[in-house]
A and B are shown apart, each in its own frame.
Chain A
Amino acid sequence: MNALQVRDITVTRGAGPVIREVGFTLEPGRITALVGPNGAGKTSLLEAISGVLPAARGSVHIGDVEVTKHSRVARAKLGLAHIEQGRAVFPGLTVLENLKLTARTWPRVDEVLALFPELDKRRNSPTALLSGGEQQMVVLARAFAARPKFLLIDEMSLGLAPVVFTRLLPMVTRFASEGAAILLVEQFTHLALGVSQDAIVVSSGRVTYQGTAEALLAAPNTLHSAYLGE
């Protein structure tokens, strides 16, 4: 099966669990929005999937392979990419060098740059000198260049103006339409749900809703109660 499965995963950070027995499946070509209040455990969940944090219990499967004990590098080689919170560029590398890290070939670099004309103009600039929006484009472009099967995106909009974020969101949709399974954590909940097919709401480390994004948008009380802890 060409899907990413999270089975009853529990993640601990410091004193106690921050994620408790969460399970879901990411299907190819679909975007799943993962929403919830600050401190709900969204970032920890993504980090456990990609191997930044160990899972205390439960398992992660990429296709038919259980990767719970695999290294981050091994998971990446199986097609998993993780865009971390903040702007995870390599500041001392140029735009081209950032892309070359994952694209491997120059035609693939050109292909990705065609999607981001703003970056094409600054291809030889060190990424430290780019604006916040441009840096996030580099991160997104770098992930696309790798052609991952599964993409975890953590708060892509953090520190960006909404207008910049709405410029990036169609790229995520486009990437899903090419067959990638995407897990999207986003503070702009309605924008995220608007481009997603599926939705998961987490609150205090537990799943409080799992279903279609459309249904969640139609039931705002479910979302409000998660955020307000009701």
Chain B
Amino acid sequence: MLQGALAGLAAGGLYAVLAVCLTLMSRLVRVVNFAQSATGMFGCYVAVHLSIQVGLPTWAGTVVGILIGGALSALLGWIISTWLAEADIGTRSAVTVAVLLLLISLSFILFGNKPQPFHPILDGPAFSVNGVVVSQVTVVTVLLSVVIAVGCRALLSKTSFGLELRALSERPTTAELMGIPAKPLAVAVWAVTGLLSTLVISIVAPSQSNDATSLSMLVVPAAAAALLGGFRRLDLAVVGGLVLGMAQGAVAQVDSLSVVRYFLPFLVIVGLLLWSQRKEVWDVAR
């Protein structure tokens, strides 16, 4: 069970980073980005193509792939900031569902529908605890999730840039009337979250199911983790991601329950949504 839980930590770190990205997007640019992991998947597929077909070194292909993931995300952000600046969060989020489907289809057309032959960026064990091996991928993804969450929190609370982003997220029109450039800031948030998503997917993808649909649907467990923090709190998003990954890993060790791991994110989402609505029901009943 412990072995399974620790094995699940790598996926947990991945969920945590994606959950932090989803939380930042929701807080700062008013969108639930369903294409968060799909842009990462697409960037990673380009990286694999560049290293396998074009012959670029793995590191160079990965860097280009990460930049493409960031650029794709920035482009989507630019489109939404230009034409849907005043739209509500539901409309803006619905557009990202279309982009999710578009990127999955495009990857099928360009790269086929088989898993890609990823070259691992990180490989091998980092250390072992009581005979349980912890991989380098696990250590890096968990650390990455914590560093990104702490870094983003510091950026938002301690810098002028973060202050402007928070103002923009609360009252975009008022912020613009004060001279805060809404569109460039929003596009920057999209670009950074796109870069981070592609980076973390490129680290974890070689060691898990890496067909286009599986990687794109990582947004589901990430959304479950972000929901734990109400799409507001970065710390709870990280905790949610790590716990969900460990729970999936632990459940996978029990033969009779192993299939449950695929449903776990959905169960968490349903459970959290019901839990979050309990006060609404009580208030209405009063």
Q: Using an 8 Å CB-CB cutoff, how does the interface string of B150-176 with A read, 1 for contact, 0 for none?
A: 000000000010011011001101111
Mask for A68-100, Cβ within 8 A of B = 1, else 0? 000111001100011010001011110001001
Q: Give the distance in Å from the alpha carbon of A102 to the alpha carbon of B163 in the complex.
A: 11
Q: Mark A99-130, 1 if CB is under 8 A from B, else 0.
A: 01110000000000000000000000000000
Pairwise interchain contact A71-B177, C-beta atoms closer than 8 A: no
Q: Which residues of A contact B167 (CB under 8 A)?
A: 90, 93, 101
Residues in A with CB closer than 8 Å to B174 are 84, 88, 90
Which residues of the partner chain A approach B177 to less than 8 Å between Cβ atoms? Answer: 50-52, 72, 76, 81-82, 84
Say yes or no: A101 contacts B164, CB within 8 Å: yes
Contact of B170 among A52, A77, A93, A146 (CB under 8 A): A93
Contacts of B160 in A (CB 8 A): 100
Which of B116-124, B178-186, B221-229 touches A?
A: B178-186
With A and B bound together, what is the CA distance between A88 and B172 in angstroms? 11
Q: Can you list 26 contacts pairing A with B, beta carbon distance less than 8 Å?
A: A51-B177, A52-B177, A71-B176, A73-B182, A76-B176, A76-B177, A76-B179, A77-B179, A81-B177, A81-B178, A84-B173, A84-B174, A88-B174, A90-B170, A90-B171, A90-B174, A90-B175, A92-B170, A93-B170, A97-B163, A100-B163, A101-B163, A101-B167, A101-B175, A101-B178, A102-B178
A73 pairs with B180, CB closer than 8 A: yes
Smallest Cβ distance from A104 to chain B, in angstroms?
A: 8
Task: Supply 20 further A-B pairs (C-beta < 8 A) apart from A82-B177, A102-B178.
Answer: A51-B177, A71-B176, A72-B173, A73-B179, A73-B181, A76-B178, A76-B179, A77-B179, A81-B177, A84-B173, A90-B166, A91-B170, A93-B167, A97-B163, A97-B166, A100-B160, A100-B163, A101-B178, A102-B179, A146-B179
| B166 nearest CB across to chain A (Å) | 6
Report the interface size class on chain B: 10 to 19
* CB-defined contacts of A97 to chain B, threshold 8 Å: 163, 166
The complex places the Cα of A51 from the Cα of B26 at a distance, in Å, of: 26
Provide the bound-state CA to CA distance between A92 and B27, in Å.
Answer: 12
* Nearest-CB residue, chain B, relative to A91: B170
Question: In the assembled complex, which residues on chain B have CB atoms less than 8 Å from the CB atom of A146?
Answer: 178-179
Number of A-B contacts (CB under 8 A): 54
Tell me if A142 is interfacial: C-beta within 8 Å of chain B.
yes
A93 vs B173: C-alpha distance when bound (angstroms): 16
Instruction: Give the complex CA separation of A71 and B180 in angstroms.
Output: 11
Which residues of A (19-52) have their CB < 8 Å from a CB of B?
Answer: 50-52
Instruction: Tell me whether chain B's interface is mostly helix, strand or loop, or mixed.
Output: helix
Size of A's binding interface in residues, CB under 8 A: 22
Q: In chain B, what residue has the closest Cβ to A104?
A: B160
Interface-central residue, A52, A81, A90, by most chain B CB under 10 Å: A90
Q: Which residues of chain B are near A71, meaning CB under 8 Å?
A: 176
Given the complex of chains A and B, what is the CA–CA distance between A93 and B157 in angstroms? 10
Query: Shortest Cβ distance from B209 into chain A, in angstroms?
Result: 39
Q: How near does chain B come to A53, taking the closest CB pair, in angstroms?
A: 11
Q: In the complex, which residue of chain B has the Cβ closest to the Cβ of A92?
A: B170
**Bound Cα distance A97, B178 (Å):** 14
A93 touches B176 (CB 8 A): no
Cα A146 to Cα B174 with chains together (Å): 14
Check if A93 sits within 8 Å of B179, measured CB to CB.
Answer: no
Residues of B within 8 A of A88 (CB): 171, 174
Q: Let me know if B178 and A93 touch, CB within 8 A.
A: no
What separation, in Å, do the CA atoms of A72 and B173 have in the docked complex? Answer: 9
Tell me the minimal C-beta distance from A114 to chain B in angstroms: 21
Roughly how many angstroms separate A101 CA and B171 CA in the complex, as a whole number?
Answer: 13
B176 proximity list for chain A (CB < 8 A):
71-73, 76
Determine whether the beta carbon of A142 is less than 8 Å from that of B173. no
B181: chain A residues at CB < 8 Å are: 73
Residue of B nearest to A128 (CB): B170
Residue of B nearest to A52 (CB): B173
Which residues of A sit under 8 angstroms from B180, Cβ to Cβ? 73, 101
Q: How far is the CA of A84 from the CA of B176 in the complex (A)?
A: 12
Could you tell me the distance in whole angstroms from the C-beta of B168 to the nearest C-beta in chain A? 9
Point out the residues of chain A lying under 8 angstroms from B171, CB to CB.
88, 90
Neighbour of B178 across the interface among A52, A91, A142, CB < 8 A: A142
Beta-carbon contacts under 8 Å, B29-65 to A? none
Expressed in whole angstroms, the minimum distance between the Cβ of B162 and any Cβ of chain A is: 10
Residues of A within 8 A of B173 (CB): 52, 72, 84
Q: Closest approach, in angstroms, between the C-beta of B152 and any C-beta of chain A? A: 16
Report the 10 A-B pairs with minimum CB-CB distance, sorted nearest first.
Answer: A76-B179, A72-B176, A90-B170, A88-B174, A82-B177, A90-B167, A73-B181, A77-B179, A72-B177, A73-B179
